[in-house]
Amino acid sequence: MISTIEIYLLRIIHLIFKLLGLAPSNVNILPLNRGKKQLNQVTYIDLPGQHDNFLKAIELIGNFGAMFILLFFNFNHKILLTIVNRIFLLEVELDKKLVKFKQINNGKLWLIVPFIIQIFTFILIIIIAGLIDIDNIIQIIEQRLRIFIITSFIIQFDILIRYFRKIFSSLNKSLRSLVTHDTDSEHQIIIVASIPQTETMIRSIQLISKSQRTLCEIFQDLSNFYSWPMLLVNTYFCVIMIYSAYDLVLPLTSPIPSPSTFIMIEKGLLAASYIIPVFILCLSLTTIMTELEQFSLELLHRDMSFSPCGLFSVNNNFLVSITGTVITYVIILIQYDQSLAAVDILNSTDITANARSIDFGK
């Protein structure tokens, strides 16, 4: 017997997990005497049979996601250009007024490495897909282009975050160049260098402090700009990463003969194209938070974390949560498929035994 509250709670839980295909598709709760109710029948979704429908749903959501990103940047590109222009103007000012900043703030070409890797992965996936099914190459390119647009959005945000990190790191190095470290101290206390505090040094410290505040303001504007799109993209990526990991691991655990090597390589590259951008973004955001905290103790009293719509923080903890969620769901799905396979084997065995008994009776 279950109460009314438990019934509503069951319906809510069922609705949430039904969206992911991990709950019964039909739950019948029949009334009994004296107003009580009882859970009577449960019908589960046949995941292998729903594979095509689930894949079509993911593709449809991905199409809407890619279209949303394109429309979002089409209507709001001026806001992003204003933010990027403020960063460039600040960097130019630091190059002119801060001693040795230009020499310290180098190596910016390495910021585009993730985007180059993404393009290389996209081309490699298209080539392998063409080797597998050359007749449908146009449709394959269309499908992969959707993923390329969504991952490019994440990598674009990551490049800007890494650019922020580079400037913050250069400011930290510039500040450390004005002081010396007491290496004999157990706690590595930083003391002001024993040199005359000239006006140049004072102006440099003031400029660094002002630049730090400006960067924090720009970073907050950038976070607000990417807040809603990142919420939708992360939600979509959580689902697509679960599906891609499940699709990659399933042939390895299924008694059915494994697909060809090219198909497995393509599935592996697709899974990597989903996971790597999120992984890099989380590391970049965590690192820039570290740079902020190293700059000044005052920053410990500021909330500078990137939180899409204030729902969750994108950092290493978020990465651990996603990894745990993906692994958990993949294990559940694989075990569910194995249980279905075992039931099918038992049913086929019973049918064969009944057929033999009928033949024997004849």
Does residue 157 share a domain with residue 10? no
- CA neighbor of 344 nearest in space, from 250, 257, 255: 255
- Whether 354 is in a domain gets the answer no
The pLDDT, as a whole number, for residue 303 is 54
Do both 268 and 143 map to the same domain?
yes
Same domain for 73 and 9, yes or no, is no
- Is 119 found in the same domain as 8? no
Distances (CA, A) of 310 to 146, 219, 223, 314, 353: 27, 15, 11, 10, 60
Residue where the block lists tokens 């449960």: 42
Q: How far apart are the first and last CA of the chain?
A: 49
Same domain, 202 and 226: yes
Whole-number pLDDT of residue 297:
47
Residue-level pLDDT at 231: 79
Range of the domain at 305: 51-343
Q: How far is CA 355 from the centre of its chain?
A: 53
- 84 with 122, same domain? yes
Neighbours of 327 (CB within 10 A): 13
Q: Do 288 and 153 belong together in one domain?
A: yes
My answer on whether 11 and 86 are in the same domain is: no
- pLDDT at residue 59, as a whole number: 73
Tally of domains within the chain? 2
Whether this prediction's pTM lies above 0.75 is answered by no
Nearest to 203, CA basis, from 174, 224, 183, 229: 174
**Nearest in space to 328 (alpha carbons), one of 236, 269, 246:** 246
Residue 357 lies in a domain: no
In a domain, 25, yes or no: yes
Structure tokens at 359: 């033949």
Contact 26, 43 (CB under 8 A): yes
Instruction: Supply the pLDDT for residue 107.
Output: 59
Compute mean pLDDT per 10 residues along the chain, 362 residues long, and list them: 61 60 51 51 50 68 79 84 85 72 61 78 80 76 79 83 79 68 45 53 74 80 82 78 78 66 77 79 74 54 59 70 77 66 49 44 46
